[in-house]
Amino acid sequence: MSGAAHTTFPATPLVGRDRELASLRAHLDAALVGHGSLVLIGGEAGIGKTALAEATLAEAADRGALVLAGRCYDLSETPPYGPWAEALGRAPRGDELSALPTALLPPEQEGTVLTSQDAIFRSALAYLAALTAGQPLALLLDDLHWADPASLDLLRLLARQLVGRPLLLLATYRADELTRRHPLARLLPLLVREARAQRLDLRPLDEVGLRALVAHYALPSGDEDRLIGHLAGRAEGNPFYTAELLRALDEEGVLRRGPRGWALGDPESAGFPPPVAAGDRGATGAARGAGGAAPRCRRGRRPGGAAAPVGDR
C-alpha cells in the first residue's frame, strides 16, 4: 500500500470522562479483533466530543490501527461526501485495494468516475473491505450536524456492514443543533436500530471534574473553592469554556504564579461578560454567533471576548 498520510492527534487532557473512555476502549478492543461498531458521540459545542474521539484514535494508532478522520464544516461549505473525501483522501492506495470513486476523493486526487450513488457506495464498501482485510481501521466523522445528505446515506449503509470487520467508526455531532426535521435527527434512531450503534451523550463536568481540571495549579483550598465556584457559575461545566476562562484569568493576572505557588485574586474583577440567562440558551445557531452554540457567554463570545471558533473540541 502507498499514499497514506500519517495522521496525528494532539494530546488533549481529558477529565471527568472515565466512563466514556472505558466504553470507547471496549469498542476499540472489539474492533481490533474483527468486531466493528459505530459509536455516536453527542453533546453541546465545547463539551469535548472531538477531544474524546481523537483520544480514542490516538490509542488506536498506538495499537497498530490505521486512523482516518474527516470533518464537516458549516452547511454552506461542506460539499457532497465532504467528510468522506477528507478522510479517504489520506487513505492508502495500492494494487491490492479497490479504486476509490472521484466523488469520495478531494478534487486534486484522481479516482474512478462513477455517477450513480449505488455505484459510488458499492465502490466505497469494496475499498473499505479490502483495506480492513490488511489492517484494523478507526475512522472519525466529525461534526455530522453539518453533513450533507449523501454523506449520511453512506454512513447508514456502512454502519450495517461493520459486523465481522475490524473497523471502529466514530461520529460526533452537536445535539443542540438537531431539530426534529434535521436529517441526522431522523437518522440516529435508525443507526441504533439497524446497526446497534451506541450513543454517548456527553454531560457537563461536575465538581469532581472541575477540580481535576484545575488540580495542576495546586491552589490553597480557599482559592480553589472560589475558583471552582466561579468556573461553575460562568461555564457551567463546559470543558472548552472552562479552559478559556482559565486562560483569560491567567492573562488578566487574576490567576497568577507567585514565589509560593499559584494564587487567585478576585475573578469578578476581570470584566468578563455576564453569564447568559437561562432563557437565552435556546437561541438558534445563527443567533449564537459564527462559532455555533456558545451557551455560556452572550452573543457567541468567548469568556475573554474573542469570537468562538467554528471547530468544537
**pTM metric for this prediction:** 0.82
Residue 292 pLDDT: 33
204-242 per-position pLDDT tens digit = 999 999 999 999 899 999 999 999 999 999 999 999 999
Which range has highest mean pLDDT (185-189, 274-278, 283-287)?
A: 185-189
Is the domain spanning 18-201 CATH 3.10.105.10? The answer is no
The total number of residues written for the chain in this structure: 313
Q: What is the mean pLDDT of residues 165-189?
A: 96
pLDDT value of residue 272: 63
Residue 112: Cβ-neighbour burial (10 angstroms; 0-12, 13-18, 19+): middle
Bridge partners, 139 (sequence order): 68, 169
Confidence at 273, pLDDT banded by 50, 70, 90? low
Using an 8 Å Cβ cutoff, are 273 and 298 in contact? yes
Q: Which of 53-62, 105-114, 180-189, 280-289 has the lowest mean pLDDT?
A: 280-289
In the chain, where the domains are located: 18-201, 207-300
Grid cell 474524546 in the structure block, residue = 52
Given a contact cutoff of 8 angstroms between Cβ atoms, the answer to whether 178 and 147 are in contact is no
Which tens digit of pLDDT belongs to each residue from 248-268? 999 889 999 988 899 999 988
CA separation for the pair 231, 241 (Å, rounded): 9
More confident residue, 310 or 124: 124
DSSP per-residue string spanning 168-215? EEEEEEEGGG--TT-HHHHHHHHHHHHH--EEEE-----HHHHHHHHG
Interval 280-301 mean pLDDT? 33
Residue 241's identity, in one-letter code, is Y
- Per the model's pLDDT, the better-predicted residue between 139 and 96 turns out to be 139
User: What per-residue confidence (pLDDT) applies to 268?
Assistant: 84
What was the pLDDT predicted at 25? 98
Give me the pLDDT at residue 13, please: 64
Sign of CA dihedral 16, 42, 11, 296: negative
What confidence tier does 313 reach under pLDDT thresholds 50, 70, 90?
low
38 pLDDT exceeds 70?
A: yes
